[in-house]
Structure 1
Amino acid sequence: MFARLHSLSAASRDTFWRSLKALGATRIVIALVLLLYFGAGHLRLTQELTVQVCLAYLLTALALQALASRWRRQFMLQLMSQVACDLTCISLLYIVGGGMRSGLAILYLFPLAGCAILAPLLLALFSASLATLFMLGYTIYEAISSGDSPVMQAGLYGIAWFAVVLVVNRMAARLIGQEELAAQRGIEIGVQQAVNRLVIAHSADGILVVGADGVIHMSNPAAQQMLGGTALVLNGAALQPLTAAYESWRADPSQSSAFITVKPYADAEQEEVTAAWSARRDVPLHLKLRFAAAETAGLDVERNVIFLEDVTSIEEKAQQLKLASMGRLTASIAHEVRNPLSAIGHANSLLEEDLQAPVHKRLLKIIGDNVARVNRMVEDILKLSRKAQSHHDPMELESFLKELKAEFDETHRLDSKILCLGGMREVTVRFDPLHLREVVLNLLNNAVRYASGTPASIRVFVVHGAGRPLELHVQDDGPGISPQVRAHLFEPFYTTSSKGTGLGLYLARELCLNNDAMLDYEHRFDAGLDEGGARKSSGRFVITFARFA
Structure 2
Amino acid sequence: MIARLQALTAESRATFWRSLQTLGATRVVIALVLLVYLSFGNRSLHALGHDLYLQICLLYLALAIGFALTAVYLQRHFVLQLLSQIACDLAIISMLYLAGGGMRSGLAILYLFPLAGLAILAPLVVALFCASLVTLFLLGDSTWQIFLTDSDRDVMQAGLYGAAFLAAVLVVNRMAAKLIGQEELASQRGIEINVQQAVNRLVMANIGDGILVVDPQGQVYAGNPAAQQMLGLVGLEMKFRLSAAVTLAPLAQAYAEWRADPGCSTAVLTIKPFNDAALEGVTAAWSARRELSAHLKVRFAAADMAGSGLGAERSVIFLQDVTGIENQAQQLKLASMGRLTASIAHEVRNPLAAIGHATALLAEEVTAPGQQRLLNIVGDNVARVNRMVEDILQLSRKVQAHSEPLALAGFLAELRTEFIETHSLAADIVGIAVPPGAEVRFDALHLREVLLNLLSNAVRYASGKPDSIRLYVVRDTAQRLELHVQDDGPGITPEVRAHLFEPFYTTSSKGTGLGLYLARELCLNNEARLDYEYRFNSEADAHGSPSLSGRFVITLKAA
Q: 1:167 corresponds to which residue?
A: 171
Deviation at 1:472, TM superposition (A): 7.6
Deviation at 1:331, TM superposition (A): 1.3
The total of aligned residue pairs comes to 418
More deviation, 387-396/37-46: 387-396
Percent identity among equivalent residues? 61
Q: 2:147 corresponds to which residue?
A: 144
Q: 1:259 corresponds to which residue?
A: 268
Deviation at 1:230, TM superposition (A): 5.1
Q: 1:124 corresponds to which residue?
A: 127
Task: Determine the C-alpha separation between the residues in 1 that align with 2:290 and 2:28.
Answer: 69
Q: 1:237 corresponds to which residue?
A: 246
Correspondences of 1:186-265 after superposition (within 5 Å): 186-226=190-230, 227-229=232-234, 232=238, 233=240, 234=242, 235-265=244-274
Task: Determine the C-alpha separation between the residues in 2 that align with 1:121 and 1:343.
Answer: 110
Indicate yes or no: 2:65 matched with 1:62. yes
Assess, with a 3 A threshold, how the Cα gap between structure 1 residues 473 and 292 changes in structure 2: closer, same or farther.
Answer: farther
The TM-score with structure 2 as length reference comes to 0.62
Counterpart among 74, 95, 99 of residue 96 in structure 1: 99
> What secondary structure, in the 3-state scheme, does the structure 2 residue paired with 1:308 have?
strand
> What secondary structure, in the 3-state scheme, does the structure 2 residue paired with 1:430 have?
coil
AA paired with 1:91? S
Task: Determine the C-alpha separation between the residues in 2 that align with 1:305 and 1:229.
Answer: 19
Task: Determine the C-alpha separation between the residues in 2 that align with 1:33 and 1:77.
Answer: 27
> What secondary structure, in the 3-state scheme, does the structure 1 residue paired with 2:263 have?
coil
Assess, with a 3 A threshold, how the Cα gap between structure 1 residues 195 and 384 changes in structure 2: closer, same or farther.
Answer: same
Q: Indicate if the aligned counterparts of 1:43 and 1:97 stay in contact, CA closer than 8 A.
A: no
Task: Determine the C-alpha separation between the residues in 2 that align with 1:383 and 1:251.
Answer: 55
For residues 299-357 of structure 1, give each alpha carbon's deviation from its aligned partner in whole angstroms, at most 9, with x where no partner exists. Answer: 32222222222223333333444454233212133244577789999999x9xxxxxxx
Q: Indicate if the aligned counterparts of 2:532 and 2:552 stay in contact, CA closer than 8 A.
A: no
> What secondary structure, in the 3-state scheme, does the structure 2 residue paired with 1:218 have?
strand
Task: Determine the C-alpha separation between the residues in 2 that align with 1:4 and 1:168.
Answer: 18
Q: 2:187 corresponds to which residue?
A: 183
> What secondary structure, in the 3-state scheme, does the structure 2 residue paired with 1:245 have?
helix
More deviation, 296-305/144-153: 296-305
AA paired with 1:162? L
> What secondary structure, in the 3-state scheme, does the structure 1 residue paired with 2:45 have?
coil
Q: 1:311 corresponds to which residue?
A: 322
Q: 1:33 corresponds to which residue?
A: 33
Deviation at 1:117, TM superposition (A): 0.7
Assess, with a 3 A threshold, how the Cα gap between structure 1 residues 312 and 378 changes in structure 2: closer, same or farther.
Answer: farther
Assess, with a 3 A threshold, how the Cα gap between structure 1 residues 150 and 15 changes in structure 2: closer, same or farther.
Answer: same
Task: Determine the C-alpha separation between the residues in 2 that align with 1:380 and 1:156.
Answer: 111
For residues 234-292 of structure 1, give each alpha carbon's deviation from its aligned partner in whole angstroms, at most 9, with x where no partner exists. Answer: 22122222222322333333333322222234586998xxxxxxxx9972222222333
Deviation at 1:66, TM superposition (A): 1.8
Deviation at 1:163, TM superposition (A): 0.6
Assess, with a 3 A threshold, how the Cα gap between structure 1 residues 335 and 291 changes in structure 2: closer, same or farther.
Answer: same
For residues 362-399 of structure 1, give each alpha carbon's deviation from its aligned partner in whole angstroms, at most 9, with x where no partner exists. Answer: xxxxx999999999987886687689853334999xxx
> What secondary structure, in the 3-state scheme, does the structure 2 residue paired with 1:212 have?
coil
Indicate yes or no: 2:105 matched with 1:134. no
Deviation at 1:85, TM superposition (A): 1.0
Q: 1:5 corresponds to which residue?
A: 5
> What secondary structure, in the 3-state scheme, does the structure 2 residue paired with 1:32 have?
helix
AA paired with 2:249? Q
Calculate the aligned-residue CA RMSD, in Å.
Answer: 4.6
Segments of structure 2 that go 5 or more residues without pairing to the other structure are 281-288, 363-377, 398-445, 462-487, 504-512, 522-529, 534-548, 554-559
Q: Indicate if the aligned counterparts of 2:339 and 2:396 stay in contact, CA closer than 8 A.
A: no
AA paired with 2:295? H
Q: 2:294 corresponds to which residue?
A: 285
Segments of structure 1 that go 5 or more residues without pairing to the other structure are 272-279, 351-366, 397-426, 432-461, 463-469, 475-489, 493-505, 519-544
The TM-score with structure 1 as length reference comes to 0.63
More deviation, 134-143/63-72: 63-72
Correspondences of 1:466-477 after superposition (within 5 Å): 470=494
Q: Indicate if the aligned counterparts of 1:211 and 1:304 stay in contact, CA closer than 8 A.
A: yes
Q: Indicate if the aligned counterparts of 1:87 and 1:111 stay in contact, CA closer than 8 A.
A: yes
